[in-house]
Structure 1
Amino acid sequence: MDVPEDHPGRERAGVCSAHTCGPPGKRVKVILLDTRYHRDPITRDPISGQRYFPNEEGDILGEAQWEWLKRELRTSTAQVHLIGTSIQAVSSQHPWAKWANFPQARERLFRVIDASGVPGAVLLSGDRHISELSRHDEAAGNPLYEFTSSGLTHHAPVHEAANRHRVGPLVAALNYGLVTIDWAADPVTLRFEVRGTDNETLLDPTLSLSALRPSGGS
């Protein structure tokens, strides 16, 4: 992976990382969470329509990664924060791997992001072979959005999938996701595009930076 021998990530358990780019006033911080290494177990559910029983007290990140995440948010000087999670955090009704299988950890994630007070916080996720934009209105402060894009080589057939948090349509087609920041706009905007195999636009919501700002900061 071309990680230098002296990189601090080599001393951590798991592969979480953070990267900041851009000049002052136009900085983007990308935080990549490791949702597998420390994850507590879940049990298969052969009874209901869900694949797993929820682990009510279980965790996903582990305490060291929680502290790392809080520190990365607290010390950030960026204007936009893209938080990558391999599994969906906002969407909660589908039966597959998701933060909702660990209800306490899911709520903790929302609290940590809100309490940090960082501007422009958006979750980026995959793993579903679909694309969609979800909005979590129950989060403290302003709504927390999650942009899901997955399926460069595989996608689910056209179908209905429950997601009470979804904003706009579900995209079930080969696609890739693109986030474009318009620093010249007033207010600054983030455009979340889903594009197909011919580079056609399949989903194209745009949000202002002011709508993504948590109200926390404690």
Structure 2
Amino acid sequence: MLSFITPLVLLITLVLTISHTQAQTAEPTTIAFGACAHQDRPQPIWDAIVAKRPDLFIFTGDNIYGDTTNMSVMQTKYNKLAAKPGYQKLVKSTPILAVYDDHDYGQNDGGKDYPEREASAKMCLDFFDVPQDDPRRTHPGIYGSSILGEADQRIQIILLDTRYFRDDLDRNTLTDQEKKDVGKVGWYQPTTDTSRTLLGEPQWAWLKTQLQKPAEVRIIVSSIQTISWEKGMECWGNMPHQRTRLFELIADTKAQGVVLISGDVHFAEISKTDEGPYPLYDITSSGLAQKPHPSWPKAINQYRIPGCLYVGENFGLITIDWATKTLCLQACDVQGQPQFTQNVAISALKVK
């Protein structure tokens, strides 16, 4: 595997630089993110991402398509990503944080029963140069958090592990025609078994602690969509009690400034719900080098903000304007052109 120390050094340096510079000038902070970077496909999108000069890039999963229990095969696929010239430019210029989704975890739609979950978690942390003394290495799974900035410009990045602890999902029994009639495209349905977990109790306890930390903006990274649930694809809504628990935890901890990001579905959209203590937004960006089945973007999503849908290869961009206290949420195409934009006042993301 190609090893990169540069992202760690850059992350430490840029955290300090961002903190100092923003305190002096209130310059915007830019965070790019994306998912679904198939290692065997061309990846021209990295040039557009690097050109945005983001302060951080977040992988939200399917960073490679491993789909194996053979860790040598998995390693070879990570090496293919590492060898991409565009990705190498990103590594040299931009700090990187990452979570896995199912394909880079090792099993399509996989959960806690994937037999190589420990090895997969370690390989993910190793590839993205997570330090040996990092808290993410002290517990099962890969969840963790980082703080960028200080004073009144703190950005908390919360990285969730939606695979390592996840219980089985319920499959729907709809025919293709029945799915088409109701706007579904996937294989799953919400469970009524409230004993099932998505995150596992240790991760839930950790998340509560994280949400109690001071921050002006919090980006919660989930590999799967959090708000939209009707498609029949993987999402938090397949365990409705877990989705509700997340929204209630945000309210109970009075965590301000929460924005959700996700990947997985091979297209970009923004979903919004009023089920939380304030309007919650989930900006989905996918894929970096994957395209959807033609039916997937047509699936029902009552939460989608009108106009916030893009089907081409894309990356997400969150720009935090500290002068105006505004978040700008965008999906950008391979040329770096925004395909939709949603502005959100930070003041609107507070528990009343």
Verify same fold: TM over 0.5.
yes
> What's 1:171 paired with?
310
Deviation at 1:53, TM superposition (A): 3.5
Give a deviation string over 1:146-172, Cα, whole Å, max 9, x none.
111111101224852211011122211
Separation (CA, whole Å) in 2 of partners of 1:197 and 1:26: 30
Indicate conservation of the 8 Å contact 1:121/1:214, yes or no: no
Deviation at 1:13, TM superposition (A): 1.1
Indicate conservation of the 8 Å contact 2:189/2:232, yes or no: no
Moved more, 37-46 or 84-93: 37-46
Between Structure 1 and Structure 2, how many residues are aligned?
Answer: 211
Question: Aligned match of 2:286 in 150, 154, 161?
Answer: 150
Deviation at 1:138, TM superposition (A): 2.3
Indicate conservation of the 8 Å contact 2:314/2:333, yes or no: yes
> What's 1:182 paired with?
321
Deviation at 1:191, TM superposition (A): 0.2
Q: Secondary structure at the match of 1:134?
A: strand
> What's 1:10 paired with?
137
Kindly report which structure 2 residues correspond to 1:95-114, keeping only aligned pairs within 5 A, or say none: 95-114=232-251
Separation (CA, whole Å) in 2 of partners of 1:133 and 1:47: 27
Separation (CA, whole Å) in 2 of partners of 1:77 and 1:45: 41
Of structures 1 and 2, the one scoring higher in RCO (CA 8 A, sep 6+) is 2
Separation (CA, whole Å) in 2 of partners of 1:59 and 1:214: 26
Which structure: greater helix fraction?
Answer: 2
Which structure: greater strand fraction?
Answer: 1
Separation (CA, whole Å) in 1 of partners of 2:146 and 2:172: 38
Indicate conservation of the 8 Å contact 1:132/1:168, yes or no: no
Moved more, 62-71 or 46-55: 46-55
> What's 1:44 paired with?
171
Q: Secondary structure at the match of 2:209?
A: helix
Kindly report which structure 2 residues correspond to 1:50-199, keeping only aligned pairs within 5 A, or say none: 50-56=186-192, 57=194, 58-74=196-212, 76-139=213-276, 141-156=277-292, 157=294, 159-169=297-307, 170-185=309-324, 188-199=325-336
- Which runs of 4 or more aligned residues in structure 1 lie more than 4 Å from their structure 2 counterparts after TM superposition? none
CA RMSD of aligned residues (A): 1.5
Q: Secondary structure at the match of 1:20?
A: strand
For structure 2, the 5+ residue unaligned runs are: 1-125, 180-185
Distance 1:92 1:213, change over 3 A: same
Of all paired residues, the percent bearing the same amino acid is 39
Deviation at 1:45, TM superposition (A): 2.4
Separation (CA, whole Å) in 1 of partners of 2:289 and 2:351: 35
Given the two structures, how large is their TM-score scaled by the length of structure 2? 0.58
Q: Secondary structure at the match of 1:83?
A: strand
Given the two structures, how large is their TM-score scaled by the length of structure 1? 0.91
Give a deviation string over 1:78-118, Cα, whole Å, max 9, x none.
10000000000100111110001101111001111122112
Pair member with larger Rg: 2
Amino acid at match of 1:150: S
Give a deviation string over 1:165-216, Cα, whole Å, max 9, x none.
111222111111000000001xx0000111111111101111100112233x
Indicate conservation of the 8 Å contact 1:33/1:85, yes or no: yes
Q: Secondary structure at the match of 2:132?
A: coil
Separation (CA, whole Å) in 2 of partners of 1:198 and 1:7: 35
> What's 2:159 paired with?
32
